[in-house]
Structure 1
């Protein structure tokens, strides 16, 4: 389900200007707002409870152990206070970028979803999710999809541009699903001196190939309705995201190359 607004006041459509800091390749400012978060309308835990202790333990573990591999899952405690946690940093994030993003995510997810037993938060640099139940391998079902695009940057040949975006995303999605990192980046060839289009897609690495592919196909299907005619676009969900631009926005992308890269 696609919604314009949730009770946490995160809009489904976000103007590009409000996300300017998010789109810096190696910038993870402590002041930046998340591009996406959801508290899942979950039950509350009690302050000072064993659940809260276990939650902080998974935050500590993920902060210490994620930057080297850019992905980690962990479990802390025993039922009924067991907590499952997952963090994934973007494929081109440095260890320092990842560490900062994980720390910010742990701080902000507690602030934005106080005492909630399940929550997810996503920045451009990383995503963090926890729950009092095993969610590993499952697509998050918060029901919220967030779109971001440049409001005043329209393409002059929308039909051709949309075609190039669709071809690129359709080519990258199976590559991302098969990749161990669940990440693919690439760019299409130019056509009649048309601009190149650069793209990135990624799922959280706990998903199977088929589940990742399904997640990506769902958000690719949203591009015409959310970002039509726009020269750039982003679609974020709990478990996967995509981005496309007319410039190489990541150091995994090379200028004027038709190769696809997989981490």
Structure 2
């Protein structure tokens, strides 16, 4: 019996150590997952007033992200000329906490600086946030250019799915907020536009994004349509947080550990 207890004790400790090791390195945050990025072709000179203004915009964006989920900037430090002005903007997904927004934007700014090295403008969309800067003002301007389109595998003709999908997209079209979510059964939808737009400009942009989504993704099980100033998405699987995925992973891990301990107990008895 003493040997049996020692074996069970050892197995319990091993399960604990393995689970500790597994959870001390959580999976990569879904909010920081890359969606798209773009950089202008023009470069600025190192040490120039323009570089100082870019750095100031980045600092302002990071600092502001701890206080709100959206802000825009026009930076022209002392000694700058008209051509040195830098415009910047950030926006977080509407359901993010202040902490998640700040973390996402901080990461986005660091990545954007590495992706668009010494370029006069650039934009980066992550799952949880968007950051953009440029030397040409884009603030308040409606821009319905398609930046990214992704469509999942086709379901074929499924009348129930298509009815639910169309109902969700219709709701998103008419919801009337900058950030919109809706669902019908297993079909979930999400839409958002930049808050530098007027509500009518937002509505115009989202209506176009949703129409593109219906026309181009057809019977796909999920679809993403990103325009320059708004996006619309739907998914048969729904949208879940990274934390939820880690929770489910943890549940499976402890079930496996429990099964191993039970098996050892049966073998020893």
Output the TM-score relative to the length of structure 1. 0.71
2:150 is the alignment partner of 1:148: yes
* Residue 186 (structure 1) shift: 1.1
Q: Specify the alignment match of 1:9 in structure 2.
A: none
Q: Specify the alignment match of 2:47 in structure 1.
A: 48
Q: Specify the alignment match of 1:198 in structure 2.
A: 188
2:91 is the alignment partner of 1:85: no
Q: What CA RMSD, in Å, does the superposition of the two structures yield over aligned residues?
A: 2.5
Question: Does the CA contact (< 8 Å) of 1:36 and 1:236 recur in 2?
Answer: no
Could you list the per-position Cα deviations for residues 226-248 of structure 1 after superposition, in whole angstroms to 9, with x for gaps in the alignment? 42222222112221111212244
Structure 1: state its 5+ residue gaps: 1-23, 189-194, 252-263
More helix per residue: 2
Aligned length: 211
Question: Does the CA contact (< 8 Å) of 2:66 and 2:101 recur in 1?
Answer: yes
Question: Does the CA contact (< 8 Å) of 1:26 and 1:93 recur in 2?
Answer: no
Q: Specify the alignment match of 1:216 in structure 2.
A: 206
SS in 2 for 1:35: strand
* Residue 166 (structure 1) shift: 2.5
Q: In 2, Cα distance between the equivalents of 1:183 and 1:216?
A: 10
Q: Which of the numbers 108, 111, 119 marks the counterpart of 1:108? A: 111
Q: Which of the numbers 181, 190, 196 marks the counterpart of 1:185? A: 181
Question: Does the CA contact (< 8 Å) of 2:30 and 2:127 recur in 1?
Answer: no
* Residue 165 (structure 1) shift: 2.0
* Residue 118 (structure 1) shift: 2.1
Q: In 2, Cα distance between the equivalents of 1:86 and 1:100?
A: 16
Residues 237/37 of structure 1: CA separation in 2 closer, same or farther (3 Å cut): farther
Q: In 2, Cα distance between the equivalents of 1:173 and 1:37?
A: 26
Question: Does the CA contact (< 8 Å) of 2:213 and 2:232 recur in 1?
Answer: no
Q: In 2, Cα distance between the equivalents of 1:26 and 1:110?
A: 20
Output the TM-score relative to the length of structure 2. 0.70
Structure 2: state its 5+ residue gaps: 1-26, 242-269
SS in 1 for 2:67: coil
Q: In 1, Cα distance between the equivalents of 2:28 and 2:191?
A: 15
